[in-house]
Structure 1
Amino acid sequence: MDVSLRSKVDQACRVAEEFTKLYYEAADKRRHLISRLYLDTGLLTWNGNGVMGNERIQKFYMDLPPTDHTLNTLDAQPILDEAVNGQLTYLIQVSGTVKYQEKVPKTFQQNFIVTAEGGKWKIVSDCFRLQEPITEKS
């Protein structure tokens, strides 16, 4: 791996650590602020349910039961400049467990595409999925 690519990957990983700390703190303790983390046109896909726009995403999160997330893995990579017209953009991948109210924790996976806007990281796209077996329909 060349030095400039390694540097970009290292920076993506540092951003991922900082960003996910903010995100999951907001999701678990400060949901009324979560819309600030999304672009105005941000997209959330939550277990197959699509929500577009930071205000609608805010309402969606406010309607969820209280959560407590624990991260197990975190990875990030830069998205090639050619794909995003040079806009600083990262793919962040997370897995862990989430506990809803007093229920048994469930495993989840979440992928974010974040981009730099006005000195802050904003979510372009967020895909959350509980890791439950696919059941065959009969």
Structure 2
Amino acid sequence: MEQKAKIDQACRTAEEFTKLYYESTDKRRHLISKLYLDTGLLTWNGNGITGNERIQKFYMDLPSSDHTLTTLDSQPILDNAVNGQLSFLIQVSGTVKYQDKGPKSFQQSFVITAQNDKWKIVSDCFRLQEPLASPDKS
């Protein structure tokens, strides 16, 4: 596939995929494991969870959420890096509100791959954007 066509496909796929992902996270969490490979990896604020069943349990234990996206970008991953398997890198930023707490900024990156006509998450890295602690000046 021509590179420009792959980039266009990556952008369209990112829009469709993130809409499904954040609707699932915010409203249908009990279905979230279907979006991950069986061996998928979630890194959530530095905590690693492997396997879609363990990821499902992790999400079910989180408080209810409401995500709002502000940026979305995607690009194809070079064929030789993924043995020719159609895969995309998706990068997202926005705000998330958990239960009655105020909104917090977040950043998230996904690597997704095509499997049986469905997109599956290979790797997912989520991070709340909080200021770094200032070093002690004593």
- Please report the TM-score for the alignment, with normalisation by the length of structure 2: 0.96
What is the aligned partner in structure 2 of residue 15 from structure 1? Answer: 13
What is the aligned partner in structure 2 of residue 129 from structure 1? Answer: 127
Cα distance in 1 for partners of 2:48, 2:28 equals 22
Q: Which amino acid aligns with 2:17?
A: F
Cα distance in 1 for partners of 2:18, 2:67 equals 11
Cα distance in 2 for partners of 1:86, 1:135 equals 42
Q: How many residues align?
A: 136
Q: Per the alignment, in what secondary structure is the counterpart of residue 12 of structure 1? A: helix
What is the aligned partner in structure 1 of residue 108 from structure 2? Answer: 110
What is the aligned partner in structure 2 of residue 53 from structure 1? Answer: 51
What is the aligned partner in structure 2 of residue 28 from structure 1? Answer: 26
- Please report the TM-score for the alignment, with normalisation by the length of structure 1: 0.96
Percent identical across equivalent pairs? 76
Task: Give 1:5 deviation, angstroms.
Answer: 1.4
Q: Which amino acid aligns with 1:48?
A: G
Cα distance in 2 for partners of 1:93, 1:118 equals 23
Deviation per residue, 1:65-119 (Å, 9 max, x gap):
0000000000000000000000000000000000000111000000000000000
Cα distance in 2 for partners of 1:136, 1:104 equals 23
Q: Per the alignment, in what secondary structure is the counterpart of residue 133 of structure 2? A: coil
Which residues of structure 2 form unaligned runs of 5+?
A: none
Q: Per the alignment, in what secondary structure is the counterpart of residue 57 of structure 1? A: helix
What is the aligned partner in structure 2 of residue 4 from structure 1? Answer: 2
CA RMSD in angstroms, aligned pairs only? 1.1
Q: Which amino acid aligns with 1:25?
A: E
Task: Give 1:136 deviation, angstroms.
Answer: 4.1
Q: Per the alignment, in what secondary structure is the counterpart of residue 73 of structure 1? A: strand
- Quick one: structure 1 residues 62 and 137, their matched pair in 2 at CA, closer, same or farther if it must change by over 3 Å? farther
Cα distance in 1 for partners of 2:10, 2:130 equals 29
Large movers: runs of 4+ above 3 Å:
none
